[in-house]
Amino acid sequence: MKLLKFLFLSVIVIATGANAQESENARQMGHTDQNKFRQMKDLLATPNESRTASGAPGYAYTQQKVNYVMDIRLDEANNRIYGEEKITYHNNSKDHLEYLWLQLDQNMRAKNSKTPDITTETFNAPFNGPQVFTNANLKDRFDGGFKIEYVKNDDGTDLSHHINQTMMRINLSKPLAPGEVFKFQIKWWYNINDINVDGGRSGLETFPDGNNNYTIAQFYPRLCVYDNVEGWQNMQFWGRSEFALEFGDFEVKITVPADHILEATGDLQNPKDVLTREQQKRFNQARKSFTDPVFIVTQEEAEINEKGRSTKTKTWHFKADQVRDFAFASSRKYIWDAMAVNINGRAVMAISLYPKEGNPLWEEHSTRVVANTLEEYSKLTFDYPYSKAVSVHSERQGMEYPMICFNYGRPNPDGSYDERTKRGMIGVITHEIGHNFFPMIVNSDERQWTWMDEGLNSFVETLAELDYDPNFFTGNLPKDIVPYMGGDQSHISPIMSQGDYVHQFGPNAYTKPAAGLYMLRHTIMGPELFDYAFRTYSQRWMFKHPTPADFFRTMEDASAMDLDWFWRGWFYTTDYTDIGVKEVKQYYLTDQPTERAMKIAELYNMNLEDYKDRLVYYAEAEDGTVPNDAKSVEDFDVLNNYLESLPDEERSKLVKAPKHFYQVTYEKPGGLVMPIIVELTYEDGSKEREMYPAQIWRYNEHEVTKVYRTDKAITRIVVDPDLETADVDTTNNAWPKQVQKSEFDKFKDKVRG
């Protein structure tokens, strides 16, 4: 044994001498730390008393509160919204505020809006048909936007203000001190856009019978967020990146035609004034039905109702506490059903409103999907705190607000529908109802970081959809995003990009974050560690304003896992995964000196015959198979004698010496480090899985080697057999190498075909 140690040390000394000049050059050049596992202190904000290093809110964390009292009138004859609001702004920060900023989102549709001006145009409309050509070139621009009638102080005097596109600044006569409250009022109106003609996240849909479906949101001037990260979040609304809003209490009265059915954020305060006795009775039945929806308004009743036109009005009165926004839907065409959902012993109402054009698909699935979503999201985050969740059908919408959302998924006119339509409807309802958790409660800044609500929500949506239907195609699994990850780098943006300028908005903000979190849960962390950390984040930041750093830090803090390598690679770069098998060498034991052993012996003037009872050699099988005359382990007396000389305690810890040895080199052409997941297939057909943590790449990010010692010959090695890591090129994933197309090439063939 002393001789072997001497030979090993000699080889090391020789190698060190050969690389001396190279090492000296490295010392002279110098470099910065570019290791994939370096910590993220260069990317994350410094922790402070407001936001701690653990990812939790600090003792000095504050946030503002805004209360609204509104009177709203829907003018069906002219398709207008008229409104008056009284706003109470609580300055809970430690800052003196010189002004307040409000969002005027409807102004993106004003005639003088700059939103159309930032869109590149090409003149190809004639090839798309006369309607497209007319809308693009002959139609006068829709007269949208807020018409502000007044902005006044609480005492009725005029309040100085200035409008800059989609933002309005309230000029305070004196700074608003910490702890002070400021009250003011605004009166306005605007023309409601037709979502099928003018687009928009809210508006109206017109039916051939002359009736409208009103899905109304962003309908009132509302306060911007002021916090200790951004100050005022007053980035202009260009139509894509969504909203940053403060929590508060709402009291809203909405006047609509008397034959309309209406739902909104909050709890209805006057059911006896707006519902018939039968409708009240049915809704009370629904409160006790936990298995099937109960119809409050049937299709037959809705079809009768849609044929009339009441000239009278009703006022629906709602209150909502601790919500960040308010929306409502109103139409005389609505079918209305509801059922109760058991959220940890508390009954929450799952509700759907839809015209007959949504059936039979909507009555079969909508309310059940709402219920399933509330149950599954509550398991992974926190118990749903509100009293209800409402799904409203609109032909081309998918948009979320507290307690209410607007969803597409319409069957053919004859009521038939294909699997794609059904899946799309279930998916959008799950997604939009899920937004009640992110960002309606875990209230991230959507204008700045779209992925924090869309990506996190899409991830939990995936789990909820698979619970509703185990065969559901979610589109959010790692294997689903391979075409995007392996695409043209000039049209891919890092996830950590502000939403208005990213390329491929959907994959960037929705599917890549969702697939990454699924990978974290399923492959990297495991469900137990992931779920605890994710639940910790969700509960820490309920009704607060988290940032990306708060999420990243909490996930590590609650799991004892260093994930900086994952956040840095998956969220801050456009690198992709590509891990494969570079080389496989097979070795066998022999009692004959190998060529390498003889060269070493010659170098040190050794006679190997003198050590034949003390040495065991190994040789590489050049053709990948073990020669017939190869020695079995049992044939080596020198090895067996050594083992027999060991104390019983040490010998009991040893396993049977293997007959086969494989040295496998794994390569990583891709820029991302990921765990190496390996499936070994043996000569008898049995299989075995190994997973090496991503940290295996910490010293060499280009290639690593592992040795497999086994009694059975290995016939096949496959990397990432279940496509868990979004590997963009699977042609190098197997040994022996087989001619096969990568997942990306398969996708391209499918598109071309």
Banded pLDDT at 127 (limits 50, 70, 90): low
Q: Which residue has the tokens 């849909």?
A: 205
Domain spans in the chain, listed from the N-terminal domain onward: 1-31, 63-246, 260-443, 578-753
Nearest to 89 by CA among 176, 168, 190: 176
Q: Which residue has the tokens 């304003």?
A: 545
* Sign of the Cα pseudo-torsion (427, 429, 431, 437, in order): negative
pLDDT at residue 752, as a whole number: 47
pLDDT tens, position by position, 460-476? 999 999 999 999 999 99
Q: Is the pLDDT of residue 28 over 90?
A: no
How far apart, in whole angstroms, are the C-alpha atoms of residue 148 and residue 155? 18
DSSP 44: S
pLDDT tens, position by position, 58-109? 999 999 999 999 999 999 999 999 999 999 999 999 999 999 999 999 999 9
pLDDT at residue 738, as a whole number: 65
Percent residues over pLDDT 90 in the chain: 77
Q: Read out DSSP for 664-727?
A: EEEE--SS----EEEEEEETTS-EEEEEE-GGGGSS-SSEEEEEEEESS-EEEEEESTT--S-B
Average pLDDT over the chain reads 91
Q: Is the pLDDT of residue 727 over 90?
A: yes
pLDDT at residue 740, as a whole number: 52
Question: In DSSP terms, which residues pair with 252 in a beta bridge?
Answer: 70, 318
Q: How far is CA 164 from the centre of its chain?
A: 32
DSSP 609: G
Residue pair 85/70 in contact (Cβ under 8 Å)? The answer is yes
Banded pLDDT at 34 (limits 50, 70, 90): very high
Cis ω for the linkage preceding 546 (within 30 of 0): no
Banded pLDDT at 642 (limits 50, 70, 90): confident
Nearest to 380 by CA among 517, 570, 246, 512: 517
Tokens of 504: 């491929």
pLDDT tens, position by position, 555-576? 999 999 999 999 999 999 999 9
Alpha carbon of 23 to those of 18, 28, 29, 35, 732: distances in Å?
Answer: 10, 9, 10, 18, 33
CA angle 426, 428, 433 (to 5 degrees): 95
Residue pair 399/219 in contact (Cβ under 8 Å)? The answer is no
CA angle 597, 598, 603 (to 5 degrees): 100
pLDDT at residue 749, as a whole number: 58
pLDDT at residue 648, as a whole number: 87
How far apart, in whole angstroms, are the C-alpha atoms of residue 223 and residue 390? 25
How far apart, in whole angstroms, are the C-alpha atoms of residue 81 and residue 584? 71
Q: Is the pLDDT of residue 31 over 70?
A: yes
pLDDT tens, position by position, 218-267? 999 999 999 999 999 999 999 889 999 999 999 999 999 999 999 999 99
pLDDT at residue 286, as a whole number: 98
pLDDT at residue 329, as a whole number: 98
pLDDT at residue 202, as a whole number: 95
How far apart, in whole angstroms, are the C-alpha atoms of residue 258 and residue 111? 33
Class of domain 260-443: alpha beta
Q: Which residue has the tokens 């495991």?
A: 526
pLDDT tens, position by position, 530-545? 999 999 999 999 999 9
Banded pLDDT at 1 (limits 50, 70, 90): very low
Tokens of 404: 């209410």
Q: Is the pLDDT of residue 24 over 90?
A: no
How far apart, in whole angstroms, are the C-alpha atoms of residue 378 and residue 348? 12
Q: Which CATH code is given to the segment(s) 63-246?
A: 2.60.40.290
Q: Is the pLDDT of residue 742 over 70?
A: no
How far apart, in whole angstroms, are the C-alpha atoms of residue 306 and residue 212? 10
pTM of the model: 0.91
Tokens of 402: 């507290």
DSSP 108: G
Q: What is the average pLDDT across 350-373? A: 98
Alpha carbon of 323 to those of 87, 266, 500: distances in Å?
Answer: 14, 9, 26
CB atoms closer than 10 angstroms to residue 739 = 5
Q: Which residue has the tokens 């936001």?
A: 51
Banded pLDDT at 314 (limits 50, 70, 90): very high
Tokens of 260: 């309309």
